[in-house]
Amino acid sequence: MNNNKQHYINPYLGGVLLGILVLLTVYITGRGLGASGAVKSAVVTTADVISPAHAEENAYYSKFISDDHSPMYTWLVFESLGIFFGGLLSGIIFGRVKKLRVERSPKITKKTRLIAALIGGILFGIGSQFGRGCSSGAALSGSATFALGGVIVMLLLFGTGYAIAWFFKKLWI
């Protein structure tokens, strides 16, 4: 892989900037950052478009459907669009935007990596709904605002990763 000399910013600088951003976000909006909520909005919208009756009957989707606007018209969808463009901007500045590629450990094939990524995404999607948020909304913003639930998600999300890392070693090293 050609990423042996990457120019990333100092992680502690990144952390300070991210902390200030969380602080600023809470100061302006009264709540923190998020990410998984945007995909949830996309799922609810898709269900609502394909079968409105089914979506309204569903006790979960119906929580996020309102009569006056689309489920896509929410704060987190716009914020997540921003995440994409912000990533693109940084990628352009630091020269990391390149043609489509799969990043993987040399010990596994492209196919293995993509299957693991798909299963990982599915599990993360399911878990984030039970957890009331993912690493951004629950673990980061939740912990920063001293929410008990946020700290639980932070500890158990990373804790589980450590507990099972040995079994999936080949995927990464």
Q: Does the footprint of another protein cover residue 25 (CB under 8 A)?
A: yes
Q: How far is CA 32 from CA 36, 78, 89, 131, 152, in A?
A: 13, 14, 22, 16, 17
In the complex with another protein, the residue whose CB is nearer, 67 or 148, is 148
Instruction: Give, as ranges, the residues between 125 and 144 that touch another protein (CB under 8 A).
Output: 125-144
Instruction: Give the nearest distance from C-beta 156 to another protein in angstroms.
Output: 4
CA distance linking residue 92 with residue 100, whole number of Å: 15
Instruction: Give, as ranges, the residues between 107 and 126 that touch another protein (CB under 8 A).
Output: 107, 113-114, 116-126
**What long-range pairs does 2-7 form, CB within 8 A, spacing at least 24?**
3/103, 6/94, 6/96, 7/94, 7/95
Q: Does the footprint of another protein cover residue 98 (CB under 8 A)?
A: yes
Instruction: Give, as ranges, the residues between 28 and 87 that touch another protein (CB under 8 A).
Output: 28-33, 35-36, 38-40, 42-44, 46-47, 58-61, 75-76, 78-87
Instruction: Give the nearest distance from C-beta 159 to another protein in angstroms.
Output: 7
What is the longest distance spanned by two Cα atoms in the chain? 53
Near another protein by CB under 8 A: residue from 1, 53, 67, 68 = 1
Near another protein by CB under 8 A: residue from 49, 56, 94, 109 = 94
7-35: b (≥16 Cβ within 10 Å) or e: eeeeeeeeeeeeeeebeebeeeeeebbbb
Number of residues that bind another protein (CB under 8 A): 129
Instruction: Give the nearest distance from C-beta 20 to another protein in angstroms.
Output: 6
Are the beta carbons of 158 and 135 closer than 8 angstroms? no
CA distance linking residue 111 with residue 123, whole number of Å: 18
